[in-house]
Each structure stands twice: as structure tokens, then as C-alpha cells.
Structure 1
Amino acid sequence: MSTSGEPVLQVRGLYKHFPLTQGILFKRQVGAVKAVDGVDLDLYRGETLGVVGESGCGKSTVARLLVHLERATKGQILYKGEDITKLSGRALKAVRRNIQMVFQDPYTSLNPRMTVGDIVGEPYEIHPDVAPKGDRRRRVRELLDVVGLNPEHLNRYPHQFSGGQRQRIGIARGLALRPEVIVADEPVSALDVSVQAQVVNLMERLQDEFDLSYVFIAHDLSIVRHISDRVAVMYLGRIVETGDDTQIYEHPTHPYTQALLSAVPVPDPDAREHRERIILTGDVPSPADPPSGCRFRTRCWKARERCTLEVPALAVPAVFRDVDSPAAHDSACHFAEEKTVVPPEAGGE
């Protein structure tokens, strides 16, 4: 996938801090949970950008910021050059039509009191100009068919479907307005392994059919590699490494990425014996009180005094700048070093 041309979505210096308060009658702010703390991302037309990281690193908050379900504390989210963080009313409604979301939990993201036909057709009530009123039922049937569901089931309720079928309903709802960007927040994490593969393959087919760009958020690195063109690794509110799938999976340079990859299950017993397992010590620091300098330094085996004092920039490490190598990609580490964690034959699709 080529990343030439202007990005369809650009994120610059994005912050989201949730205030911590004390008191009952007279509340005062005593701190903030820094859920997202300076994130830069680019999403190009027709590509899938995978965002991975541990639970609590800020992935889902980034997703909610992109579709304006949360208002950013600071920073820019540019859709075709327009900053959507400053929009409201009709202008925001118009942009939201082009940036839709598929939620993590197929059980709670669907209204149990609404039929499938009403759920998938609800976007047409909010954006009536997309489909004439008399044509909406036909559109809903077409969408159900596209995602692999029986169009005759549009009068059923969510509880009458399995988890995988419910997620297909959520995908159909996301497609209703023919968006350009879909933000998928861990869309397969609540599903069985066999169903996960079906849903991921469905999303790949729909991407080609509808010319979609995906922000695909997950903690399962093997699924992210299967579907993504580029990958961004998050830790404690910040991006620590970005690159294409070959750069990230076979030539990781950030210690955190290397530790994540070493934890990926490897089905091949021979490859499993030869890989290096990296065990991180300590717990993830609180986003309300992150470490100074490099946020990963409290769990990193390479940490030195410089890591305490300086925040590492997300850029190609100096040691790789003049080298024609897959290791020459952005990594926020003062002492970045290439390391093959998983043998190439084990890390493939």
C-alpha cells in the first residue's frame, strides 16, 4: 500500500486529560489522568493503520477522539485539511458522516429494544439526505446482505444473534452512510478465534468494495499484522514506534515493541524454542503520574540517566539514519537497537 499523496486523516499533538477532583460541594482539580498525551498519526486513503498496545495505553481514547465522542484537551485532528476539533453543529455532523466507528463490544453497542432493521437504518434518520425515506428498507437489506447476514432477519432483535453476527450488524451500521474512514475499536476482541478470522476477512473485503480507510485498534498483534498496512505502537498515552508490518514485526527497534512481540503465541514448536522471551518487570505506571523523560524507562532493561531527563523524539534513530534497512523507521528510544524477537517464518500470516 503506497502512502503517497495527502493523508485523509492527520492527528497532530493530540492530548486528552481527564481531570481528577477532590471535594463534594466545592470540587477542585488536583491532577489529571493523561490518557492521550501528544499523539501524531497519519491515515492515507485506502490503507489500514493498526494501533496496538497494552490495556490502558490510550488506544480506545484515541478512537473516541477521532469520531468526536470525546473532546480533545489540545491538538488537531485534520480531516482533508480541516480541523474537526473546532467544529460543532451542522459542520461536525457533516464530517461525522464520513468518519464512522465500529465498537468493541457487540453486546452493549446495539440497542436491545430496537430491531436490526431499525439499528442499521438509524443513520438515515440522522442524515435523511443520504437515502430517501421510501428507499431505506431496501438499503438496509442490501447492507445486511453485504456483511453476510440474511436480509429477511431485519425484524429480529440483537439477542437473537450470535456475537459474530452482532458485530456484523455493527459493521453494517457503520457502512450505512458510505463513510471514507472507519475507526474499529478492538472489533474482534470479544469474539471466538474462528469468528475473529471471519470478521477480519469481511473487513478486508469491504475495504476494497467500499474504498475504505481503517484505523484498526487491537491488542492482538497477530491480527493487526494480518490486516494492517502500517502499525503504530502505543505506551502510556504516546506512540513509541511506527512502521509498516515488516519493519515492526521483523525489525523492531523499541524495547517495548520487542517485549510485546515476544509475548505473541507462536504455533510452530521449533520457532517457539528459538525465540527470545522478554519478561518486563514492574507494573505499568499510572497515567495520572507518568515517569519523567521516557515513559517506558521504569520497565526497560536499557534505561540510563538520559532516559530520566530527556523525552525521546518519535523519529528515525540516529544510528539508522544513513542505513538502507527496514530498521530505519520512527522509534521513540534514545538507545534504539534492532532485535529479531520472533523468527520470520513464525511471524508470517
Structure 2
Amino acid sequence: MADTMVDPILEVSGLVKHYPLTQGILIKKQIGAVKAVDGVDFVLGRGETLGIVGESGCGKSTVAKMLVNLERPTAGSIKYKGEDITRLSGRALKAVRRNIQMVFQDPYTSLNPRMTVGDIIGEPYEIHPEAAPKGDRRTRVRELLDVVGLNPEYINRYPHQFSGGQRQRIGIARGLALRPEVIVADEPVSALDVSVQAQVINLLDRLQNDFDLSYVFIAHDLSIVRHISDRVGVMYLGRIVEIGRDEEIYEHPTHPYTQALLSAVPVPDPEARERRERIILSGDVPSPTNIPSGCRFRTRCWKAEERCAVEVPVLAVPAVFRSVPGPAAHDSACHFAEEKQVVPPEQAAGEAPDGRADGRA
């Protein structure tokens, strides 16, 4: 795994995105805001994969859009190689965008149905002509099709002639066209069948080594995220509540929300399933227009006390673990952080009950 402290390629600090709520027709007055992202911090190291997980609506995709500048943040900074890209525009922003590309969630709507595969993958060369001479572009597109496991002869076909998995490979090829350094993958396999998910995840894994890529991999499937990620960040209601190496998060979670998420992961072994404690959260996720005071998870947390309503927990190594080095000593935004193993040991190790690899990807 990359050492993010030594060689960071992306540094996100205090990232905020609020969408204003207005009323009135002629004179619009802001009456509130949807706090989609409300203070996100993380570092992505060169050659590293950072997985981001959480419930639907927690702000994962909004973070992804801000990383590639499809959305402008309300506040905060996104530093690429030390330069804050949120302050860039024009040619400077265009140059940075070449190095940070995105793979979208839905392979059915992210490809223009009126364009051939060759035109879709080659379109980045029209925007960045310096990336490939005009006479070489068709050859480059054929090479990219081959790299992602598609027949180069498919270059003149249209998106409707491909399956979902093949379409996502086309999307990946388009993302690779400019030889970027960072790929932001926003739930790239959620719309695919399980067997196809495995193929696409293995493809992304191989491409990372071949092209020296760094990934921000966003998903809600915890097993897929663990398979591909070096570190994992858990988001809840616009903020990261726990972040650490994959084994720290999956085998030694300290935040109650992470523990609840892991307890919901399906376990194929009936005996292990019986031994596992299932954590059922009460209530619904609060509205991002009316976030609870203090700890935003307190309204659903079984550990909540009066302190949680008035004091916002800081994302840092909990005091109880600071003097005892170990896997539990990772950043967690909880006043009462406590290590709790909720995934059976054989599942936490990534093995099926018979000791073989579990075949997730």
C-alpha cells in the first residue's frame, strides 16, 4: 500500500457542498440548505485505492463529482499534487482534469447512444488534442479496447449493441484515454450482475498496476470495497465517521455506525451467521436539511449520551486507543469509540467456511 503521508497525490480538506433551498417566484429567498457534504477530509496516496462506503444519500457521489470538478464545492480544498484545484479555471483546470478522470455508475446512461464506441473513447482526444496526434487516435482507441478486454473490431458499434458489463468496460477505456493518474470510480459495478462485477473489479485491479493509477472507489457493497481497497472511509450524513486500512475497518471497527454496517453484510456460513451479533439501528436517516446537533449519528446510536447532543466528535484516533498501538488505533469520530468484532473471523479474513478464497472477485 502507498504511504499517503510520504507521497500524497490528492489531499481533501474541509470539503463542503450545500445546495440552497429557496422559496418565491420573482424574489427568491433562501430558507435553508441541503447539506450533501459537510466537512470531508482524506488523503489519497500515489498508487493507492481509497474506498468510500455508506448508505444511499450520505454524499459519496457528491464527493466524487467535486473531485473531478463537475460540482464546485461550497467550501474546502482539493489539492492535486499540492495545488488547490477548486481555485482553478480555464486552461489550468482543463490541464488538471486530464489527470483526474471518472468512471460513472450507470453504464446505460453514461454513453451517448448516437455515438460509436470509437467516437466515445476517442472524444477526450478532441478536447485534449495534445494527448494523441490526429492520425494515431483510431489506433489508440483500438489499443484501449483491447486493454479493457473488448474486441478492437467493435470500434464502429453503438452502445446498444453491448451488454452492461461491456458498456462499463467502454466507460473505463474512455477514462484511460488520456493516461490519467487518478480515477474516481462512482459505484462502477452496482448496476452489474455479480459475476460481471467480479470481472470488472479484477480489470480495475490489473489496470491499476499496468497504468500506475490511484483510485477513489465509491460503493455501498462492503465486500467489493474490501477486495479492491487499501484504505476505507465510512461516510454518514455528509461526513466521514471512520477511516483506516481495510483490516482496521473490517476486523477492528470502533464507530457504532461502521459496526452496524458490517453486521448487515451477508454471511454464507449458516453457523457463522448464527454466532454473529446483528445490530439493528432504530429510526431513519435524518434529513440533510435538518442535521442533528453534536454527533449526527446520535439519533440512531445505542451509545448516545447527553454529551453527544452538544459536542461534535472529531475524526481522530480515540483517546482510549492512543496509548495502545494496534489496529484499533485509527481515526474514528465517536465520543465512546469501542472495538467490536461483528464479522466472524473466517469472513473477516476473506475466506469461505471451507478455507478457500470466497470468490468475491
Give the TM interval when normalised to the shorter protein.
over 0.9
Partner of 1:7: 8
Alpha-carbon deviation of 1:35? 0.3
| TM value normalised by structure 2 | 0.96
User: What's the offset of the Cα at 1:6?
Assistant: 2.7
4+ long deviations beyond 3 Å:
none
Deviation at 1:267, TM superposition (A): 1.0
The answer as to 2:154 corresponding to 1:153 is: yes
Supply the distance in 2 between the matched residues of 1:172 and 1:316 (Cα, whole angstroms). Answer: 39
CA deviation map 1:229-257 (0-9, x unaligned): 00000000000000001100000000000
Query: Any idea what the Cα deviations from partners look like across 1:74-107, whole Å, max 9, x if unmatched?
Result: 0000000000000000000000000000000000
The question of 1:84 aligning with 2:85 is answered yes
Kept after mapping to 1: 8 A contact 2:256/2:337: yes
Number of the residue aligned with 1:345: 346
Q: Which residue of 1 aligns with 2:300?
A: 299
Letter paired with 1:265: P
1:267 equivalent in alignment to 2:258: no
Partners in 1 of 2:179 and 2:57 — Cα distance?
31
Q: Deviations over 1:137-188 (max 9, x none)?
A: 0000000000000000010000000000000000000000000000000000
**1:60-71 alignment runs, 5 A limit:** 60-71=61-72
The one-letter code of the counterpart of 2:53 is V
1:97 aligns with 2:98: yes
Mapping of residues 276-315 of structure 1, within 5 Å: 276-315=277-316
What is the aligned partner in structure 1 of residue 225 from structure 2? 224
What is the SS of the residue equivalent to 1:129? helix
Matched, 1:107 2:108: yes
Which residue identity is paired with 1:41? Answer: F
Deviation track 1:44-67 (CA, whole Å, cap 9, x = no partner) reads: 000100000000000000000000
Say what the alpha-carbon RMSD is for the aligned residues: 0.6
- Cross-structure match for 1:236: 237
Structure 1 range deviating more: 42-51 or 24-33: 24-33
Contact 2:2–2:47 (8 Å) recurs in 1: no
Query: Which residue identity does 1:207 align to in structure 2?
Result: Q
SS at match of 2:266: coil
**Could you tell me which amino acid in structure 2 is paired with residue 109 of structure 1?**
S
Identity %: 83
So what's the TM-score if we normalise by structure 1? 0.99
Preserved CA contact (<8 Å) 2:50 2:232? yes
Gaps of 5+ in 2: 351-361
CA distance in 1, matches of 2:292, 2:240: 15
2:107, 2:167 within 8 Å by CA — same for their partners in 1? yes
Q: Per-residue CA shift, 1:205-246, capped at 9, x if unaligned?
A: 000000000000000000000000000000000000000011
Q: Distance in 2 between matches of 1:36 and 1:74?
A: 10
Q: Where does 1:186-197 land on structure 2 (aligned, <5 Å)?
A: 186-197=187-198
Provide the C-alpha distance between the structure 2 equivalents of 1:334 and 1:130, rounded to a whole number of angstroms: 50
User: Is 1:27 equivalent to 2:28 in the alignment?
Assistant: yes
Which deviates more, 266-275 or 197-206?
266-275
Deviation at 1:2, TM superposition (A): 3.4
Which amino acid letter does the alignment assign opposite residue 306 of structure 2?
E
Counterpart CA distance in 1 for 2:7 and 2:298 is 35
Deviation at 1:347, TM superposition (A): 2.5
Task: Tell me whether 302-311 or 263-272 shows the greater mean CA deviation.
Answer: 263-272
2:357 equivalent in structure 1: none
Q: CA–CA distance in 2 between the matches of 1:71 and 1:216?
A: 20
SS across alignment from 1:120: helix
Query: Contact between 2:250 and 2:348, CA under 8 Å: does it hold in 1?
Result: yes
Task: Report the count of equivalent residues.
Answer: 349
- 1:292-323 CA distance string (max 9 Å, x none): 00000000000000000000000000000000
- The residue type equivalent to 2:208 in the other structure is Q
Aligned to 2:98, the other structure's residue is in SS state helix
Separation in structure 2 between the aligned mates of residue 67 and residue 263 of structure 1, nearest angstrom: 32
Paired letter, 2:205: E
CA distance in structure 1 between the partners assigned to 2:138 and 2:209 by the alignment: 25
